[in-house]
Amino acid sequence: MKKDLLGLKDLSAENIKHILDTADAMKLILKQPNKKTPHLQGKTVVNLFYENSTRTRLSFELAAKYMSANAANITAGGSSVQKGETLTDTARTINAMGTDILVMRHSMSGAPHLIAPLVSASVINAGDGMDEHPTQALLDMLTIREKKGHIDGLKVAIVGDIYHSRVVRSNIYGLTKLGAEISVGGPATLIPQGMEKMGVKVFKSVHEAIVDADVVMGLRIQLERQKSGLFPTLREYYRFFGIDEKRLKFAKPDALVMHPGPVNRGVEFSSGVIDGAQSVINEQVTSGVAVRMAVMSILSDGGFEE
Applying CB under 6 A, the residues found at the interface with ligand CP are: 53-56, 127, 136, 260-262
In the chain the beta strands, taken as DSSP E runs, fall at: 44-49, 70-75, 101-106, 122-128, 155-160, 181-185, 201-203, 215-219, 256-258
Taking the complex as a whole, the smallest distance from the CB of residue 268 to ligand CP amounts, in Å, to 13
Q: Is the Cβ–Cβ distance between 204 and 188 less than 8 Å? A: yes
CB of 296 to ligand CP, least distance (A): 16
Q: How far is the CB of 285 from ligand CP (least distance, A)?
A: 9
If the CB atoms of residues 53 and 205 are measured against ligand CP, the closer one turns out to be 53
Given a contact cutoff of 8 angstroms between Cβ atoms, the answer to whether 66 and 291 are in contact is: no
| Residue number, 67 or 139, with CB nearest to ligand CP | 139
CB atoms closer than 10 angstroms to residue 40: 24
> By C-beta, is 202 or 258 nearer to ligand CP?
258
Nearer to ligand CP, 224 or 306 (CB): 224
Q: How far apart are CA 285 and CA 14, in angstroms?
A: 24
- Which residue's CB is nearer to ligand CP, number 123 or number 202? 123
- The minimum distance between CB 261 and ligand CP, in angstroms, equals 5
- Write down the least CB distance from residue 288 to ligand CP, Å: 8
**Strand ranges for 116-164 from DSSP E:** 122-128, 155-160
Query: In the 8-state DSSP scheme, what is residue 301?
Result: T
Cβ 113 to ligand CP, closest distance in Å?
A: 19
Least spacing, CB of residue 258 vs ligand CP, in Å: 11
Between CA 256 and CA 283 the distance in angstroms is 11
Q: Which residues pair with 49 in a beta bridge?
A: 75, 105
Q: How long, in residues, is the chain?
A: 306
71 CB neighbour count, 10 Å cutoff: 21
Q: Which is nearer to ligand CP, 251 or 258 (CB)?
A: 258
Which residue's CB is nearer to ligand CP, number 95 or number 134? 134
Long-range (24+ apart) CB contacts under 8 A made by 77-81 are 81/50
